Amino acid sequence: MKRWVGFAAILLSLAFTAGCPYTSKVPLGFPDRQSFDPRLVGFWMGYGTEGDSTMIRVLPFNDAEYYVEMDEQDKEPSRYRAFVFDIGAQQFLHFNELSKDGAPPEYCFARYAFSASGELSLRFVGEKIVPKPLAADPKALKAFLASHLGDPALDDEDVRLLLRRRP
């Protein structure tokens, strides 16, 4: 959970209240170039309730993954590897922090969607209803997520991000 402190700090600046995304010790899948969504690539701005903002760069890392960098004012940038995977009809982004210290990776997941105006909405899977033991069992975690796609309790209610493409 320590690795996500910086990530949570960024999310705090963008969300109405503090929240805690669910983290897993195992990935839910593997990058697949068929799932690469070019609409995600670009420079995005997220705005907090107090007028603060965060710049998020999403660049192609290869033909199946993204490099994500989040810059917050007066802080060291946070860097992540991400890729898209589908569960049912829902598209998720799979994030893990690029770490210099060699610590074991942790993963978090966010459903994403684009509005008609092109805004990007991210809804992180929260730890409220997801059983902690599933963090080590990718098949069971994927099955749990699939069975709860319509349940609003799956989302971390405090961390929903709305990003606008930077001109």
Which amino acid is located at 102 in the chain? G
- Condensed to tens digits (0 to 9), the pLDDT of residues 122-155 reads 999 999 899 999 999 999 999 999 999 999 999 9
Over range 16-44, report the average pLDDT: 85
Q: What is the DSSP string of 25-75?
A: SS-SS---GGG--GGG-EEEEEE-TTS-EEEEEEEESSSS-EEEEEEETTS
Tokens 């929260």, located at residue: 126
Residue range of the domain that includes 84:
2-165
Give CA–CA dist 53/84, Å, rounded. Answer: 25
| Cβ-Cβ contacts under 8 Å for 157 (sequence gap 6 or more) | 19, 126, 128
Full-prediction pTM beyond 0.85? no
pLDDT digits (tens, 9 = 90+) for 50-100: 556 788 999 999 999 999 998 876 778 889 999 999 998 899 999 998 887
